[in-house]
Amino acid sequence: MSKKTNYYESSPSYGLIRKEFKRFNDLELFTGKSYLFTRLNKIKIWYGSSSKAKDKKAILGIEANYRLAKENKENLNRHTCEIKASNIIVKELKLAKADYFCKINLCFDDVLTYIKLQSRNGKSIELGDYDAKQVKNISFNSDKDSHIIQTLHGYYDNEGIRALGMRHISNSKYCLVNNIEILYLRHKIKNDEKLKQYWENEKNINKLNMGMKAVAKLAMLPDNPFSYVFKYLII
């Protein structure tokens, strides 16, 4: 699966973009195909006056923490201007394992002045000066499916975050990708009688560790019970 797969979508960077700004793309944190299985699970935000523009408040920096599905490994990346003022406000939010960010609101003119992120389970982090005339409400959700914000990208300089965008995927497709090995094993078992007989033998099942025992037993279920259990395999 390539990075161009239709499963994954990238928004534009909302805000002001100039060639002299520093560009960042947190997708570059991940090696190989590990980017397929990540999502934003913790964020820290700085708001206040930069050392350069002391009379103006802005979103000065963002620290994003990413969790790889089914692993304890996390990737951390920080993008901030130089922060020296005393009027800085810092907030952070870490989501529970099964939760994810799915909505974001931004206000900006030449620099981001407000940001709010919301999770599927109703958790939110909000910082800055909300302006109804400037707000950009960004949501990729539909009535049937919500989208997971996976990684952030954008631009910043010595005055703060200039533009921000995100890479995202629908929850149903993310669940499918992260459980593809179960579907593949089930397909093989249903189409290979020898393999089916092998896994029907409890002696062979007992050779596996606890996690793989669960995978093998799930793959062996009849269609209706399998469908019922599989739909609950949400991150």
Q: What is the 3-state secondary structure (H, E, C) of 92-111?
A: EEECCCCCCEEEEEEEECCC
Identify the pLDDT of residue 233.
Answer: 61
Beta-carbon count within 10 A of 43 CB? 20
Identify the pLDDT of residue 188.
Answer: 78
Identify the pLDDT of residue 234.
Answer: 47
Q: Specify whether the CB–CB gap between 79 and 156 falls below 8 A.
A: yes
Phi, psi of 63 (to 5 degrees): -115, 115
Sheet with 74-80, strands from edge to edge, namely 74-80, 57-68, 38-49, 89-94
pLDDT in tens, 211-229: 778 778 888 888 888 777 7
Identify the pLDDT of residue 169.
Answer: 84
Retrieve residue 104's tokens: 């974001």
Distance CA 231, CA 11 (A): 28
Identify the pLDDT of residue 93.
Answer: 97
DSSP string, 51-64: SS-TT-EEEEEEEE
Retrieve residue 194's tokens: 């020898």
Retrieve residue 164's tokens: 């921000």
Identify the pLDDT of residue 1.
Answer: 35
pLDDT in tens, 26-70: 999 887 777 777 889 999 999 998 877 677 899 999 999 998 765
Nearest to 48 by CA among 156, 153, 127: 127
* Model-wide pTM > 0.85: no
Identify the pLDDT of residue 166.
Answer: 93
Phi, psi of 72 (to 5 degrees): -90, -5
The parts of the chain modelled with pLDDT lower than 50 are: 1-5, 234-235
How remote is the C-alpha of 63 from its chain's centroid?
Answer: 14
| Coil, strand or helix at 223 | helix
| Coil, strand or helix at 65 | strand
Q: Specify whether the CB–CB gap between 88 and 54 falls below 8 A.
A: no
Nearest to 106 by CA among 81, 87, 132: 132
What's 8-170's CATH class? mainly beta
Identify the H or E element spanning 218: helix 210-219
What are the extents of the domains in the chain?
8-170, 179-230
